[in-house]
């Protein structure tokens, strides 16, 4: 056979192999991703040649609300669509599932936590927490936190496949709170397995955040304090870095203090403000109308105020004053149905409203430093994690305490996923 014929034959063979692989569904290199399955938001990131990218969904959002709604007939909504549906059916719209994953249904759950949720808390056959469903078409009458987590992870996996242009995503590096026990870690891993992902490595969230900033490669850094103020909890961790590896020395925090607790206080305040504005003795509890595609168009209802409050909190973290608006669903003498009702608030007013809660965020830091015989000057780096850590009061208070600006140039909402992705190959 002539050399030219050999080259032609090999080229044809390569082409046939490519066609076969494409028809078999293979369209790219296998990837592992980094995932932060969060209490309030979840994030997926990918490491491509040491360049980490946070993956957006089809609408361009990098943060997926950790909310799952179960509709009559078996339909399941995840993320923003579930958050919109919540004002219509809060009983079957599950959020904060991470707080309950791997936990037994005990007296604490029943008496201290259940009253804070519009959806129910029940127990399965193994006496684990589950969420009762009274809608039809679902495989179970009490869905587990693992199942809720699996729906969220599946959505993140879909976004990653769309972003990378292929479906060769089989594993993930994940991060869990440093305070998670063995049952909680195993349940989290089970959620990923149910979504079709093998867990390649399990990091603790403070270590992942420190890796995101490359502190493991920074000279003269030994003690790192990670301040994780997310939607559900406040977690403070003290890390020690030696030979490129982090060790968690101590953890502290407040399981009943998170961004959503701030939102609850603000929402209660806004209910009173809008009732006064609309001259009504009480806002309706639930929305009776289908939501629009406009995420900022929350209804003037009690359930809608949580969304209004969260948006206002975020706006006031960036601006000295902001407006809170909701959509009027029923006409009044002064307001037409479909119009917006608006109240104004300054950052100073908001800080005064939640001042006791903001002050509480510093207590675990002082307790941890005192318990380890350390002073603020012993801390080499401070890392911010969680959306609530971008609150200006928090950043100013930490800078004053430690005498330096905290690491915050990576979006605190995505830092854990970025750190996890640095170890995903």
- Tell me whether residue 228 is one of the annotated catalytic residues: yes
For strands 31-36 and 41-48, give the pairing.
antiparallel
- In the set 57, 71, 89, 98, the catalytic residue is 98
- What is the three-class DSSP state of 363? helix
Spacing of C-alpha 253 from chain mean position? 18
- Residue located via tokens 């028809």: 23
CA 101 to chain centre: 14
Find the catalytic residue in 228, 263, 381, 413.
228
Pairing outcome for strands 76-78 and 245-254: unpaired
Yes or no: say if 260 and 422 are a contact pair by the CB < 8 Å rule. no
Q: Tell me the three state secondary structure of residue 53.
A: strand
Let me know: does 358 contact 394? Beta carbons within 8 Å. Answer: yes
Q: Do the Cβ atoms of 412 and 387 come closer than 8 Å?
A: yes
Phi, psi of 199 (to 5 degrees): -90, 110
Paired residues of 123 in beta bridges: 129
DSSP state of 28: S
Q: Spot the catalytic one: 36, 57, 216, 260.
A: 36
- From the list 89, 113, 205, 381, the catalytic residue is 205
Q: Is 261 a catalytic residue?
A: no
Q: Active site includes 49?
A: no
Q: Is 201 helix (H, G, I), strand (E, B) or coil?
A: strand
For 269, phi then psi, to 5°, come to -65, -40
C-alpha 44/C-alpha 139 separation (Å) is 27
Q: What is the 3-state secondary structure (H, E, C) of 370-421?
A: HHCCCCHHHCCEEEEECHHHHCHHHHHHHHHHHCCCCECCCCCCCHHHHHHH
Q: End-to-end distance of the chain based on CA atoms, in angstroms?
A: 42
Structure tokens at 88: 């219509």
Known catalytic residue at 98: yes
Report, as residue numbers or ranges, the catalytic residues: 36, 98, 205, 228
């Amino acid at each position: 056979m002539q050399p030219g014929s050999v080259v032609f034959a090999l080229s044809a063979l390569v082409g046939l192999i490519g066609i076969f692989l494409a028809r078999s569904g293979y369209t790219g290199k296998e990837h592992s991703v980094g995932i932060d399955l969060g209490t309030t938001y979840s994030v997926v990131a990918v490491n491509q040649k040491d360049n980490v990218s946070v993956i957006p969904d089809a609408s361009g959002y990098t943060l997926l609300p950790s909310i799952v709604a179960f509709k009559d007939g078996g339909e399941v909504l995840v993320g923003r669509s579930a958050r919109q549906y919540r004002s219509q059916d809060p009983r079957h719209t599950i959020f904060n599932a991470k707080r309950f994953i791997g936990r037994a249904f005990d007296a604490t759950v029943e008496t201290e936590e259940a009253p804070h949720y519009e959806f129910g808390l029940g127990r399965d056959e193994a006496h684990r927490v589950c969420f009762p469903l009274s809608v039809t078409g679902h495989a179970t009458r009490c869905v587990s936190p693992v199942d809720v987590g699996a729906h969220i992870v599946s959505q993140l996996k879909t976004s990653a496949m769309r972003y990378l242009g292929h479906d060769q995503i089989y594993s993930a590096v994940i991060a869990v709170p440093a305070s998670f026990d063995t049952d909680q870690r195993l349940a989290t891993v089970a959620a990923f397995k149910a979504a079709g992902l093998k867990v390649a490595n399990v990091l603790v969230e403070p270590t992942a955040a420190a890796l995101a900033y490359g502190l493991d490669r920074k000279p003269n850094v030994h003690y790192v304090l990670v301040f994780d103020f997310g939607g559900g909890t406040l977690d403070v961790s003290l890390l020690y870095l030696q030979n490129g590896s982090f060790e968690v020395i101590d953890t502290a925090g407040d399981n009943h203090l998170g961004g959503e607790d701030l939102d609850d206080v603000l929402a209660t305040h806004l209910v009173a403000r809008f009732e006064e504005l609309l001259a009504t003795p009480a806002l309706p509890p639930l929305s009776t109308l289908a939501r629009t595609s406009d995420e900022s168009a929350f209804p003037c209802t009690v359930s809608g105020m949580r969304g209004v409050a969260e948006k206002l909190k975020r706006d006031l973290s960036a601006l000295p004053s902001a407006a809170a608006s909701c959509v009027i669903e029923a006409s009044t003498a002064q307001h037409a149905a479909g119009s917006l009702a608006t109240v104004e608030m300054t950052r100073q007013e908001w800080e005064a409203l939640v001042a006791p809660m903001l002050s509480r965020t510093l207590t675990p830091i002082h307790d941890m430093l005192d318990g380890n015989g350390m002073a603020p000057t012993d801390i080499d780096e401070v890392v911010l994690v969680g959306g609530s850590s971008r609150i200006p009061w928090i950043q100013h208070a930490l800078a004053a305490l430690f005498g330096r600006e905290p690491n915050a140039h990576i979006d605190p909402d995505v830092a854990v996923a970025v750190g996890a992705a640095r170890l995903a190959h």
